[in-house]
Chain A
Amino acid sequence: MLENLISEDRVILDLKSKTKDEVLKELLSVLKLPEEREKIVLDALKKRESIGSTGIGKGIAIPHVRSVVLDDVYLVVGLSREGVDFDSLDGKPVHLFFLLCAPPQDPGTTYLLTLGKIAQIARKLARRNDYMDIKTPEEFVRYLLKLEEEEE
């Protein structure tokens, strides 16, 4: 499932942002959406964060949103060495981000399954920190695909 969504050019291993709003924008910028659409999606992402942080603890966050201006499901993975204050449940800075953006089609099913899959992978990641040593996007993609296969 993840295989169809993840690609090397949507993995950032050195996020520069220090704040929540900045990091959402930096992750989103990878998709190279036209300015106006990017702003709409960014606003929706911020609104989503305002009702409860998608920082699930253990240094991981899964910002996600659906917007009518999108035509496809997009996943961006980002790693911050320093960490970003993301109002996480455990109050710890977030180092690993999974940004999921989707169009509204099929009242929720594919998107929710994907979100569930990412949450499952995040739970596995929460028990380890070796991913901080990964040096290239290729390696990161392989790492995540392997993790997806592992038993929880």
Chain B
Amino acid sequence: MNKILEALITLNDLDLMIEEIKNPNYRDLGFEIDVQQKLEALEKARDEIRSKIPENILRKYDILKKRYHRGVSPIIGGVCMNCFVRLPISIVSQPHDNEKVETCPNCGIFIYWA
């Protein structure tokens, strides 16, 4: 897999985790977490991953994240799982190995061919 795409996926999953432990409804479920301490560790891990991603891609990720609550989406059966639009057959029919950073032609999200 492309290293930047891989970093984007890890970053997005980390962002979800950070958002989760900050959520009071999640905290009410009673999982034992030292939130303050763990949040610092997660944010440090997030900073590390962000440093591996080029500035222009990060900027785009942040915008997508704000708009869709995610920056990366899988393509399953030729359909983007963020906007649920079928990608053009000319794109889908090509071989995909996630070796480059691509975006959905409809919603612009970074895509992962699943």
Contacts and interface: CB of A to CB of B under 8 A. Distances in A.
Interface residues of B, number: 35
Nearest to A33: B114
B17 A68 contact: no
Contact of B26 (A56, A65, A69, A108): A108
Contacts of A116: 29
A52 B33 contact: yes
Contacts of B114: 34, 37, 69, 71
B81 A52 contact: no
Give the contact-size bracket for chain A: 20 to 34
B13 A51 contact: no
B13 A89 contact: no
B29 A44 contact: no
Interface stretch (B50-58, B70-78, B87-95, B100-108): B70-78
Interface in A22-61: 34, 36-37, 40, 43-44, 47-48, 51-54, 56
A89 B25 contact: no
Contacts of B45: 47
A125 to B, nearest CB: 15
A107 B65 CA distance: 11
Nearest to B12: A68
Contacts of A65: 13, 17
Interface of A: 34, 36-37, 40, 43-44, 47-48, 51-54, 56, 62, 65-71, 89, 103-105, 107-108, 112, 115-116, 119
27 contacts: A36-B1, A40-B9, A43-B10, A48-B17, A52-B33, A52-B34, A53-B32, A56-B30, A56-B31, A65-B17, A66-B17, A66-B20, A67-B13, A68-B9, A68-B72, A68-B73, A68-B112, A69-B9, A69-B74, A69-B112, A71-B74, A89-B32, A103-B81, A105-B69, A107-B19, A108-B19, A108-B26
